[in-house]
């Protein structure tokens, strides 16, 4: 009976979905928070649900070394310890350092490290981003202007060597943009360290900058502008990205050399000036009528301006600029009443609704 019960429990255990599914990033060095070293002391437990991560992090592994002593634990030893605690290793992914140095519990000299300075963290993240860019340039040739934003923990930032060339990176998936995961390998004083990082990868389009200063009202020519890498200039949301976007347009204000051209700085060249008598075309149902009017606004091609009647200045309407001293309006077609049934205007009274004129 006992054997049958054990077999049934084994079947239930196999049929039960995994309780945990996490990534265990081993630290290269740790300070235990109690007399017993837990998995959360030696590794960062990353899981989508904190309710899954916390039980894993609380698993007790072995007694902490005495004050002033250390114990080095390899990845293989850690996996063996977890196996003896009925943890299915196949359900979890291991990354980070290949060996963890555990400091003595209660050792004052081995207390928590001081927080990393922002400048050191920023330098480490920059070096890692450059290493990821080198990987992307090999994986997706074409000299694309990659932009990588990686975030590191304090331990990961400390592990990044000052010589960025010693950083080995692999991972990522086509099309290589968006949220990507990479595995980083570096050599530390305690030995090789591996850890996983996530980075936001994008491709920056070139932007159009002025090659020389432009005065207000200048019409932009090919020689006035050039393309520049967005990483070397301050880019804005409405920046122009091709020369065709700006050549032939007019500057709305004075623009210094080296400025990223934005849509708000440009307009179509003025072909209608305020106060000019212009030709206005009216189109409706294939019929085109021409008249003259006086422009109340300046306008470029495609812009909507106010115009007034030559004979009566109080008659003001809107027209869209279509050429030099020309604009056009689109008149609405007159809706005709169906000819099948019309009430005769000569009939009235109670019987008017029954008398109809047919045409």
Q: Which homologous superfamily is 20-110 in? A: eubacterium ventriosum atcc domain (2.60.480.10)
Q: Which CATH number describes the domain made up of 207-267?
A: 3.90.1210.10
CA dist., res. 236 & res. 249, Å (int):
19
Please tell me whether the peptide bond between 117 and the residue prior to it is cis, using omega within 30 degrees of 0. no
Q: Please check the confidence at residue 286 and state whether its pLDDT lies above 80.
A: no
Q: Mean pLDDT for the chain?
A: 79
**Structure tokens of 239?**
């920046």
Q: What confidence tier does 113 reach under pLDDT thresholds 50, 70, 90?
A: low
Please give the CATH number for the structural domain made up of 270-330: 2.30.30.760
What DSSP character marks residue 178?
Answer: E
Residue 287: how many other CB atoms lie within 10 Å: 9
Integer Cα distance of 21 and 167 in angstroms:
28
Tens of pLDDT, residue by residue over 7-23, are 544 544 444 444 447 88
Residue 155, classified by CB atoms within 10 Å of its CB into exposed (0-12), middle (13-18) or buried (19+), is: buried
Largest Cα span, the chain: 116
For residue 296 the two structure tokens come to 């109340």
- Supply φ then ψ for residue 171, to 5 degrees: 120, -160
Instruction: Report which of residues 69 and 202 the model is more confident about.
Output: 202
pTM of this structure: 0.41
- Every domain of the chain and the residues it spans: 20-110, 118-203, 207-267, 270-330
d(CA 42, CA 102): 8
pLDDT at 359: 35
SS3 180: strand
């Amino acid at each position: 009976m006992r054997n049958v019960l054990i077999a049934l429990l084994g079947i239930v255990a196999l049929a039960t979905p995994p309780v945990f599914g996490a990534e265990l990033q081993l630290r290269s060095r740790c300070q235990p928070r109690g007399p017993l070293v837990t998995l959360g002391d030696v590794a960062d437990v990353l899981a989508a649900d904190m309710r899954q991560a916390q039980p894993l992090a609380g698993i007790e592994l072995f007694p902490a070394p005495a004050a002033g002593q250390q114990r080095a634990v390899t990845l293989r030893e850690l996996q063996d310890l977890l196996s003896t605690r009925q943890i299915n290793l196949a359900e979890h992914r291991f990354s980070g350092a290949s060996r963890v140095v555990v400091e003595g519990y209660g050792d004052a000299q081995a207390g928590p490290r001081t927080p990393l300075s922002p400048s050191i963290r920023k330098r480490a993240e920059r070096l890692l981003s450059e290493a990821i860019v080198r990987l992307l340039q090999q994986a997706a040739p074409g000299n694309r202007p990659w932009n990588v934003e990686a975030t590191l923990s304090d331990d990961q930032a400390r592990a990044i060597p000052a010589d960025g060339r010693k950083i080995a990176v692999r991972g990522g998936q086509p099309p290589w943009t968006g949220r990507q995961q990479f595995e980083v390998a570096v050599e530390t004083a305690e030995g090789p360290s591996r850890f996983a990082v996530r980075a936001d990868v994008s491709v920056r389009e070139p932007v159009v900058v002025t090659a020389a200063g432009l005065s207000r009202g200048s019409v932009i020519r090919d020689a006035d502008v050039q393309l520049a890498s967005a990483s070397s200039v301050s880019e804005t949301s409405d920046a122009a990205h091709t020369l065709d976007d700006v050549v032939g347009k007019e500057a709305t204000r004075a623009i210094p050399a080296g400025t990223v051209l934005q849509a708000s700085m440009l307009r179509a060249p003025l072909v209608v000036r305020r106060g000019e008598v212009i030709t206005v075309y009216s189109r409706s149902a294939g019929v085109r009528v021409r008249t003259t009017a006086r422009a109340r606004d300046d306008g470029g091609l495609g812009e909507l301006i106010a115009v007034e009647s030559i004979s009566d200045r109080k008659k003001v309407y809107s027209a869209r600029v279509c050429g030099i001293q020309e604009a056009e309006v689109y008149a609405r077609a007159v809706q005709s009443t169906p000819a099948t049934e019309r009430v005769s205007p000569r009939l009235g009274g109670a019987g008017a609704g029954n008398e109809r004129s047919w045409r």
